[in-house]
Amino acid sequence: MANMEITVALSGNPNSGKTTIFNNLTGLRQHVGNYPGVTVEKKTGMVDYKGYRINIVDLPGIYSITAYSLEEIVTRNFIINEKPNAVIDVVDSSNLERNLYLATQLIELEVPLILAFNMTDIVKKSGKKIDVELLSELLGVSIVEMVGSRGLGSKELLEAVISVVKSKKEKKVELKYGEEVENEISRIISVLKEQKALTYNFDTRWIAVKLLEQDREIIDIIKKTSGPKYSKIDEIVRSSINHITSILRDPPEVIIADARYGFIKGALLEAYKETGSEKLDRSEKIDRILTNRILGIPIFAIIIWLMFQFVFSLGKYPASWLELGFEKLSILVTNVVPQGLLRSLLVDGIISGVGGVITFTPNIMLLFFAIAVLEDSGYMARAAFVMDRVMHKIGLHGKSFIPLVIGFGCTVPAYMGSRILENRKDRLVTMHINTFMSCGARLPVYILFAGAFFPAAAGNVIFSIYFIGIIVAVIMAKILRATRFKGESDPFVMELPAYRIPTLKGIMIHTWERAWMYIKKAGTIILAITILMWILFTFPMIGNNYSQSYTGKIKEIEQSYQYGEITDPEHRREITAVEAEMAGERLAYSAAGRIGRFLEPVFKPLGFDWKMVVATISGVAAKEVIVSTMSTLYSIQGTGEESDSLKVALNEHYTPLVGYNFMLFTLLYFPCMAAMVMFRKEAGTKEMLFQIGYTLLLAWVVSFLVFQIGGIFIK
Amino acid sequence: MRRFGLRRGRGGEKREHFVGKDFYSMAEAVPGKKYKIVKIDGGCRLNSRLCAMGFIPGEGFYVSGASLGGPLCIMIKGTKFAIGRGMAERIHVKEA
């Protein structure tokens, strides 16, 4: 029997537990993508139930479907244009009145609707009672009771979906907005009909209501479809708005909202019993401490510090196991594949390049684990609240803080996370400075260089780089705010959800998603870049164009060893030195070497040689590639532990000042190509080019100053 | 001028200005009292947004906390919101 395919949209307020229900329904059969043209994340999942293949689309969490934010527009367009077979609205049952507001708007849209009353356990515990059957009748929609955190109710929800899809019931309940508003609605409907300004996608009454609410997007659509006739429509709408405002003393959007709440209240009055008095609940008690005006910021600092420790101290163990694994793999390949170009590509190119990147997966996973815990527990919103004043001082929004923290993990999701800022200027400034929040991919560079030049104080040195990044971000935010992005930042309103114990499943799915994104990046773009780098480093081949006869030199060394003139370690050291020289010449001869040499004069004032230039260029692909490029550049064949030998090589070639300066440069210039692709998607080509240009310039200027001034004190 | 002085002032003195006053802004509301929203003074976009979150004329609320000079914590319709001072100043309230 062929499965019948249906599409179900999952909507709901933020913090209604929507994601948990989505995870319960689909398990790991999820796919994360983007809505076309915008960077709002689109999650889809699948579940087979009773002969139906149900595609579930997880819509963004929103409070209403006006055109206030990108998320709201995306949701509305999906429901209107894609016409899902059913829409599930996840409702926090412990907060029915506000949560049902979105439901009223979905009822207005006349979609086949199912309300998923989530967290019914909390309602029962607090002694309240919902008469679901009665409420369902009053609202004219099916209601399913659920406890998402314990996985209860999923089956019943699917059952309700199927029965709604099957029944295709006609319109049930119509919301009325009071006599005055209704009169104006009829007036607008008649003018719309008269002017034939309707589009097949929308219901006329709905359009009339939206025009009264002055919904920008709908106005634009009507403008387009009605052409010159729009002025007539606009005239009527404006007179209606003025009429309502003068009589009812509030603008139509407020009156209409009031009517929706009235409708909800009316229904709840009959179907909802509130017993017991309001007491100071647990969340309130926790907030007294966590958002305390004095303790708030220190507590926040401690939590972020703990998160760092968790990610980096704990992460280094699995990272070292992975490193060991890749080392063994490269030995295995060396033994199996005969010497030649293929072995070189596999061992020097792919395994060392991709392996080096995969090694950091544990850190990425732990970071996203920590972020998911902070988010799901409800603390992230408090952090934004606590930080708002500080962020305001540098011209940012309290919410900017969240993408900035994510930026410490990976700049790509951080750019995506900037969408929580509704105001374009806030968003752009946040994005433009996000690159200075050192992402996880830059950490390997720091670990390598700090380990090579400051082995005793590596931790402190790395911390200083992170810290400098924050300072630069603050300064740049101020500068950008005062120049390119002048103007007020958006008013700040944000829900502080009740504290909850996060579910392990939700956190694991979230963590896995991010880790998988990272691994995919390693398997695709970084693999491609690694191969490209290998080609650049290998061709054109030097052949017999060495400046001197190295083979003769090696023979001499071998001979003197055989005659007992030098000891075994001496012999080995000399051979290695000669081979390194050869490698150096080979690289200088290759395309990469030539590019590096060509650009060397530009970077000379920063203390960089052409190898560092080549590494920096490779870092455009992805910053962690800098490490693999450096290891290719200094490849010393088959002796000892890879990164250690690289550290030794670095130490031989550069002063600590140059090493530190290189870390600074790596910190400051724009993040990887993937991030830039995301930036372009989010903010357009112009902003992306600005980002690339200004960060390069800044990186150069800062490194120049540090090297020149530092050179005076350190010789 | 007066407003500026007020915002600078610390807790106690700030409140004295409003003794006997019927309406003031949400930014001037203090913890421990119950209030009602009278009017929202925003554009239609902001109005719609606030209404959807439950900030609607006639609705009662109380202040459950405030960061120093930063946003306020408002408990309204059973949900806690952080709301910036700038926005709070556009919401007219009275004591319930």
* pLDDT score for B9: 37
The partner residue sitting opposite A287, judged by closest CB among B65, B69, B70, is B65
The partner residue sitting opposite A253, judged by closest CB among B47, B64, B87, is B47
Interface contact flag, A258 B58, Cβ < 8 Å: yes
| CATH architecture of structural domain A4-167 | 3-Layer(aba) Sandwich (3.40)
Interface contact flag, B87 A492, Cβ < 8 Å: yes
Q: Are strands A52-58 and A4-12 parallel, antiparallel or unpaired?
A: parallel
In sequence order, which ranges of A13-144 are alpha helices (DSSP H)? Answer: 18-26, 70-77, 96-108, 120-125, 132-139
Q: Please choose, from the candidates A388, A187, A393, the residue with its C-alpha nearest in 3D space to the C-alpha of residue A300.
A: A388
Mean pLDDT taken over chain A? 85
The partner residue sitting opposite A284, judged by closest CB among B45, B64, B79, is B64
Interface contact flag, A398 B45, Cβ < 8 Å: no
Interface contact flag, A98 B53, Cβ < 8 Å: yes
Interface contact flag, A251 B67, Cβ < 8 Å: no
Interface contact flag, B67 A293, Cβ < 8 Å: yes
Return the residue of A nearest to B90 by Cα: A491
Q: Does A93 score more than 80 pLDDT?
A: yes
Quote the crossing angle between the two packed helices A591-603 and A527-538, to the nearest 10°: 90
Q: How far is B16 from chain A (nearest CA, A)?
A: 22
Element (H, E) at A473: helix A458-482
Q: Please choose, from the candidates A237, A233, A239, A241, the residue with its C-alpha nearest in 3D space to the C-alpha of residue A197.
A: A233
Which of B 47-86 lie inside 8 A of A, CB atoms? Answer: 47-58, 64-71, 73, 77-84, 86
The partner residue sitting opposite B81, judged by closest CB among A95, A386, A495, is A495
Chosen from A402, A492, A494 to mutate, greatest number of chain B CBs within 10 A: A492
pLDDT band at residue A672 under the 50/70/90 scheme: confident
Interface contact flag, B82 A63, Cβ < 8 Å: no
Chosen from A101, A253, A399, A489 to mutate, greatest number of chain B CBs within 10 A: A253
* pLDDT score for A2: 55
DSSP per-residue codes, B13-64: HHHHTTTT--EEEGGG--TT-EEEEEEE-S-HHHHHHHHHHT--TT-EEEEE
Interface contact flag, A101 B64, Cβ < 8 Å: no
Q: Which of A70-74, A276-280, A701-705 has the highest mean pLDDT?
A: A701-705
- Tell me which chain B residues have a C-beta less than 8 angstroms from the C-beta of A386: 67, 70
Q: Does A1 score more than 70 pLDDT?
A: no
pLDDT top residue among A247 and A201:
A247
- Tell me which chain B residues have a C-beta less than 8 angstroms from the C-beta of A398: 70-71, 82, 84
Interface contact flag, B65 A250, Cβ < 8 Å: no
pLDDT band at residue A370 under the 50/70/90 scheme: confident
pLDDT band at residue A275 under the 50/70/90 scheme: low
Q: How far is B28 from chain A (nearest CA, A)?
A: 16
The partner residue sitting opposite A389, judged by closest CB among B54, B67, B79, is B67
Q: Are strands B34-40 and A113-118 parallel, antiparallel or unpaired?
A: unpaired
Interface contact flag, A251 B44, Cβ < 8 Å: yes
What's the rounded mean pLDDT across residues A69-95?
Answer: 89
Sign of CA dihedral A445, A447, A452, A456: positive
Interface contact flag, B83 A496, Cβ < 8 Å: no
Are the C-beta atoms of A206 and A76 separated by less than 8 Å? Answer: no
Residues A481-502 have pLDDT tens digits of 988 888 766 667 888 888 888 8
Q: Does A12 score more than 90 pLDDT?
A: yes
Are the C-beta atoms of B34 and B96 separated by less than 8 Å? Answer: yes
What's the rounded mean pLDDT across residues A211-237?
Answer: 87
* pLDDT score for B2: 39
Chosen from A16, A282, A291, A397 to mutate, greatest number of chain B CBs within 10 A: A291
The lowest-confidence range among A34-43, A125-134, A305-314 is: A34-43
The CATH homologous superfamily to which domain B22-95 belongs is Ferrous iron transport protein A (FeoA) (2.30.30.90)
- Tell me which chain B residues have a C-beta less than 8 angstroms from the C-beta of A67: 45
Residues B14-47 have pLDDT tens digits of 444 444 567 789 988 888 889 999 998 888 888 8
Q: Which of A384-393, A658-667, B31-40 has the highest mean pLDDT?
A: A658-667
What's the rounded mean pLDDT across residues A460-482?
Answer: 93
pLDDT band at residue A277 under the 50/70/90 scheme: very low
Domain boundaries, chain B: 22-95
What's the rounded mean pLDDT across residues A500-509?
Answer: 87
Is the backbone of residue A80 left (phi > 0), alpha (psi -120 to 50) or beta? alpha
In A36-93, beta strands by DSSP E? 41-49, 52-58, 86-92
Answer yes or no: is the ipTM higher than 0.85. Answer: no
The lowest-confidence range among A27-36, A146-155, A336-345, A689-698 is: A27-36
What's the rounded mean pLDDT across residues A648-668?
Answer: 92
* pLDDT score for A356: 67
Q: Please choose, from the candidates A40, A124, A127, the residue with its C-alpha nearest in 3D space to the C-alpha of residue A76.
A: A40
In sequence order, which ranges of A407-453 are alpha helices (DSSP H)? Answer: 411-417, 424-434, 443-453
Q: Does A309 score more than 80 pLDDT?
A: no
Percentage of chain A modeled with pLDDT above 90: 29
Chosen from B26, B34, B36, B47 to mutate, greatest number of chain A CBs within 10 A: B47
Q: Does A202 score more than 70 pLDDT?
A: yes
pLDDT top residue among A145 and B67:
A145
pLDDT top residue among A534 and A700:
A700
Which of B 27-46 lie inside 8 A of A, CB atoms? Answer: 39-40, 44-46
- Distance between CA A527 and CA A522 in Å, rounded? 6
The partner residue sitting opposite B86, judged by closest CB among A97, A491, A494, is A491
Q: Please choose, from the candidates A27, A10, A32, the residue with its C-alpha nearest in 3D space to the C-alpha of residue A102.
A: A10
Interface contact flag, B79 A284, Cβ < 8 Å: no
pLDDT band at residue A541 under the 50/70/90 scheme: confident
- Tell me which chain B residues have a C-beta less than 8 angstroms from the C-beta of A491: 46, 84, 86-87, 90
Return the residue of B nearest to A489 by Cα: B86
Q: How far is A436 from chain B (nearest CA, A)?
A: 25
Interface contact flag, B53 A495, Cβ < 8 Å: yes
Percentage of chain A modeled with pLDDT above 70: 93
Token readout for A612 is: 């560092």
- Distance between CA A341 and CA A136 in Å, rounded? 71
The partner residue sitting opposite A213, judged by closest CB among B48, B64, B67, is B48
Are the C-beta atoms of A333 and A480 separated by less than 8 Å? Answer: no
Q: How far is B20 from chain A (nearest CA, A)?
A: 24
The partner residue sitting opposite B84, judged by closest CB among A250, A386, A492, is A492
pLDDT top residue among A275 and A87:
A87
Q: Does A438 score more than 80 pLDDT?
A: yes
The partner residue sitting opposite A253, judged by closest CB among B48, B71, B90, is B48
Prediction pTM value: 0.76
Interface contact flag, A98 B78, Cβ < 8 Å: yes
Interface contact flag, B65 A488, Cβ < 8 Å: no
* pLDDT score for B11: 39
- Tell me which chain B residues have a C-beta less than 8 angstroms from the C-beta of A102: 52
Token readout for A443 is: 């950490």
Q: How far lies B45's CA from each of A66, A117, A206, B88, in Å?
A: 8, 29, 18, 16
Of 1.10.3720.10, 1.10.287.1770, 1.20.140.10, 3.40.50.620, which CATH number belongs to A179-273? Answer: 1.10.287.1770
What's the rounded mean pLDDT across residues A553-569?
Answer: 86
Domain boundaries, chain A: 4-167, 179-273, 294-532+656-715
Residues A573-616 have pLDDT tens digits of 788 778 777 777 787 788 888 998 899 999 999 999 988 998 89
Q: How far is B65 from chain A (nearest CA, A)?
A: 8
Interface contact flag, A258 B51, Cβ < 8 Å: yes
According to DSSP, the residues that pair with A57 across neighbouring strands are A9, A44
